[in-house]
């Protein structure tokens, strides 16, 4: 089975940018749809973005549209989430997840999860 590890999180000021990476091992990532989810402090986990197996299909949650970009490099077994114009409301633990199925915004459709990484945006 595939193992996922997130990297690139940290502390950034409002208006700044971060790039998160989700690196896979154990299996080649091109067999999986990959998504990013986040869980803000004290709130439920929410969908952020997802990308199809070839990268041709992407889907974003409304609050991040136009600011976040999901991309993948199957040769490197990595999916990136470029986050621009960050606001304090983007503060959360971000997790990547993988699925053999179709792109979906629902966490229950994803079978494999990374451990999560913290993103904190200061005002």
Mean of pLDDT values over 54-66:
95
Burial of 10 by CB count in 10 Å (0-12 exposed, 13-18 middle, 19+ buried)?
exposed
pLDDT exceeds cutoff 90 at 63? yes
Distance CA(23)–CA(62), nearest Å, equals: 25
pLDDT at 28 exceeding the cut of 90: no
């Amino acid at each position: 089975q595939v193992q996922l590890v997130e990297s690139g999180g940290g502390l950034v000021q409002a208006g700044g940018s971060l790039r998160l990476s989700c690196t896979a091992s154990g299996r080649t990532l091109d067999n999986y749809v990959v998504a990013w989810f986040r869980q803000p402090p004290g709130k439920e986990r929410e969908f952020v973005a997802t990308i199809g197996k070839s990268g041709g299909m992407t889907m974003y949650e409304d609050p991040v549209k136009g600011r976040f970009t999901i991309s993948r490099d199957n040769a490197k077994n990595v999916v990136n989430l470029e986050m621009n114009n960050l606001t304090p409301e983007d503060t959360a633990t971000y997790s990547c997840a993988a699925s053999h199925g179709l792109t979906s915004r629902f966490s229950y459709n994803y079978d494999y999860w990374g451990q999560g990484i913290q993103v904190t945006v200061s005002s």
